[in-house]
Structures are given as structure tokens and as C-alpha cells.
Amino acid sequence: MSESRTDTVIIGAGHNSLVCALYLLRAGRSVIILEKAGEPGGAVKTKDLTVPGFRHDWAALNLTNFVNSAFFADFGDRLRARGAEFVKADNCFASVYEDGTWLGFGTDAERNAKAIAGFSEADAQTWKRLSGDFFANAAIIGGLLSSPLTLRSLSSLIYKAMRTLGRGPALDLARFLVSSPRDWLERTFESEKVRTALAPWGMHLDYAPDVASGAIFPYLEAFGDQAGGMTLGKGGADTIIRAMVAEIEALGGIVRCGVEVTHIHHENGAAKAVTTRDGERIEAARSVVANVAPGALARMTGETGETRYDAGLKSFKHAPGTLMIHLATSHLPDWRAGEDLKRYAYVTIAPGMDSMARAYQEPLSGLLPRDPVVVVGQPTAIDTSRAPEGKHTLWLQVRMVPGEIRGDAAGTIEARDWQAAAAPMAERVLESLERHAPGIRERILGQRIVTPAELEADNPNLVGGDQICGSHHLAQHFLFRPVRGYSNGNTPIRNLYHTGAAVWPGASTGAGPGTLLGRRLAR
């Protein structure tokens, strides 16, 4: 058995791992990152998936939270010097409706209000009022999402909210934070189409319309995009991964891919080393950081000595899966609702909140959804460098699908495994797209379907194709993510830390878990 030694071993090379490593390296620590896959990045990868010359983001596309993050404030200049490049979308997202109408949102507040007024003048006035309140509320919400979530930090945030907003508005904000998307949207807007345009952003984080505490995500996406636009990586989302790896290596860190960690050694209550499937042992003088799903951490450690923690890792719940469909096309879709839709980074196909609720509940029951929620990313409308001149890529994300198929809500797909179900389910998705963009099939130059099983095979953190590494519902979020008492990345084993989307503040390209842990360990 070969052996080596370093200050910190990090398991997994997702973006939270890379972020944590950079803080440690800047503090003078030695770091080795071990990644099972053949390349770093986790869910943030860009690949030639269809036709040569077309660059497709494997899973994550939107990098807005990354460029707005505390980490980027600390390291952004270094990453830009290492080649990280970004493009901003002023036309951010839109929804299309079955009657041929649509509603879109971008950085022009007056234009947004005018578009809303086409459905409801009262809603347009509400939008203007909410726009005026956004920055004060966002400061409080942002403080919560970037907080280590200790009782002390929560007390400080509550005091700040009361002092900044006043007692009544602070209580209103607290009510909003625990509201479901439907509850908040129905209390706030009278037009069903306005509600339908905003609600899908809850689905991105496992918040169907009726799930408590999901209202925050449509709110932050809509008004955050209005305030600063949406950011994509130039040439692909992997621009941030390549830059971070280059900076890590420049600081003396090591990133090794194709290396699977199978065991975390701990003695007398403290983590000591890891071993790989090939039998290599790597000693960790200061810490082991595991960016893995809770179930994997349980397998790697065995018994930690705390029964409640061990049981919590094993019972951790994952969200439904995701189906990705990547298309190389000769043109952007000819949207039936209008040519202006070709300028938007995202176009969502979802008839209404009831339809979204069903499209979430059916996969929870193991059923392929009858009317899937389809998010159509149009990255080459914003960044032409991703495809040959005049050509385009489309990024289709189906939210949600079952990781394990028990049936089909429509009763037409008989397959019960993803290898057989991928093609007919993709056809259902393309039929939905065709209704809103006639002729799109004739424009397809290449297609690549990525199933939940394939997502998990590439990145074991995406259990069952769950791209957010675990449900973010109230019982498994905030102080309870992943287990009560361990939301800050600690574990019952000294010198063993947990990071990634399974740890507070959860999934996002903003890399909150890696930032909070990296800063703390560097101190």
C-alpha cells in the first residue's frame, strides 16, 4: 500500500470542494483533492455532447449566484486572471402559455411592469412596490443564507431585521420565509399567468407550489435578475472550474481525478487518513473534508460514535430526479408566442401551478410525469461562443422525474428502467416543446439524453438524479441540514468535516457550504 501525507484531504472535486481548498491554500495549508470522476467540477461541467463544436453544460448553467457570492468577492480577480469569463443576460427568463401568450422578466424594471400590466394593472403596481422593497429585504435574506446558522448568528439577524425594517415588516418577512410559492403568489398577484411565470423557480430547488418555505426562490430569482441580470459562463459553465483548478495548482494544491475514496480512517474520535479503491492511503495531518452525499459519508466512516447522527445520514431524503436533454440546432426555436422569446436565457413550459404540483407529485410516487415542467435554456442566445457561427445549443431540463420508475402517469410508456424509458420520455418532452415552437425537430442536428441514472453514475452526490443533493424542505434545511447540530459542516469525528449541497445553506453555484467551511478552517 502506497502512502502520502498532506494537511487536508478533500473528497470530491465539485465547486464547493475547490472553493474550500482555495481558502485553505491561501492560509498556507497543503491540500490534496481526490475525485472519482475523470474530471473535476461535479455538476458544473461543459462537454461536447452532441456534434463537434457544440459546447453543452452538463447540469448547472446559471452562474449568477457564483459571481454574486462572498467567495467571488474574495477570489474573483484571481479567477479572472486564470481565464474565467462571463456573459450577462439582460433578458433572463420567460414562461409560455397554452393560449400563445408569454411573460418575460429582465433587467428593465419598467419593461417588466409594463409586461405584467398586460395581464393585470394591479399586479404591475404590486411589482413596482416589491421592487422598491427588494434591496432591504435581500440584505436580510442574504445575511441568512450566508450565515453559519448558529443561535448567535440567528439572534443577530433577527435583531438586524427588527432594527432595519421595523417590527411589523420584519414579522411579515418571517411569514414570507416560511410560505409556499403558491401561498405567497396567490396573496400577492391576482393574475394566474404572473404566478405561473414565477413559480417554476421554486421547482429548481425542490419546492413545488405547495411546499412550505419555497416562496423565497421565485422572489430572489425574479428581483435579483431585475437588479443585476443573469450570468452565464463564457464558453460554458466550466470556465469557473478550470480557473479554480488552475489557481489551486498555482498555490501548490493537487487535484487528482479518477481516484475513488472508499474509507475514512478515524481513531480515538479523530479523522486520520483516507484510503482509495486502489489501496493508497493518504494521511491528513489537520483535516479530512468530505464533499459527498450523506449516505456515502455514512458508508465511508462506518459508526461515528453518535447514533443520532449516523441514523440521520442514513435517513437523509433526496429530491426527485432530473432528466437532461441536450440539443445542437441549426436555429433557435421559432416560439409561437413571439420572436422576442429568442433573446431569453430561459424559457419555461408549465401551464400553471396545479400542473407543476402534479409534475412534482407524480415523480414522488415513482411515476413519469404526464405533463413535465420543461426548462428550455438558450445559452447561445446570450453566448455565441458555445456553437459554430449561426448555430445553437439548447439545454432542456425536466423538473422532476423519478429516480426509480414505477409507472407512467400518462399510461403510455411501459419501460421501468431509464435505459428503455429515456427515448420515449424525451419524445414527450420534445412534443411539449414542439407545441410552443413548431418545427423544432427539423432543426435538431444532434441530441444527447442524460438520465437520472447517468447523472448519478457521473456524480454519486446526485442520488437518483437529484441535482441538489437532498430535499430542501423545512424538516431537512436550515438547522437540520444534514442533521440537527451539524449544519456548520462539523461531524461527531474530530477533524472530519462535511461540505457540499447536503450541508447548509444547500445547493447553489454560490458555493455557500464551501465558503463557510473554508473560511472557518483557514482561521
pLDDT tens for 268-298 read 999 999 999 999 999 999 999 999 999 999 9
| Nearest partner of 240 among 61, 470, 365, judged by Cα | 61
| Nearest partner of 23 among 506, 499, 469, 501, judged by Cα | 499
The H helix count followed by the E strand count for the chain is: 18, 20
pTM exceeds cut of 0.85: yes
Residue 144 is given by DSSP the state: H
| Nearest partner of 210 among 317, 97, 320, 356, judged by Cα | 356
Half-sphere exposure of 448 (CA within 13 A, CB side): 20
Q: Which domains does the chain have, with CATH numbers?
A: 3-36+258-317+470-522 (3.50.50.60), 44-67+80-107+320-467 (3.90.660), 108-226 (no CATH)
* CB contact set of 115 (below 8 Å; sequence gap of 6+): 103, 104, 105
pLDDT digits (tens, 9 = 90+) for 67-76: 999 999 999 9
Residue 502 has a pLDDT of 98
> Do 86 and 232 contact (CB within 8 A), yes or no?
yes
Give Cα 277 to chain centroid, integer Å.
29
CA angle at residue 48 from 46 to 53, to 5 degrees?
A: 115
Residue 154 has a pLDDT of 79
Residue 384 is given by DSSP the state: G
Residue 2 has a pLDDT of 67
Residue 1 has a pLDDT of 55
CA distances from 110 to 10, 78, 225, 257, 520 (A): 47, 36, 14, 48, 42
- Residues lower than pLDDT 50 in the chain: none
Type of residue found at 449:
I
3 state DSSP class of 29: coil
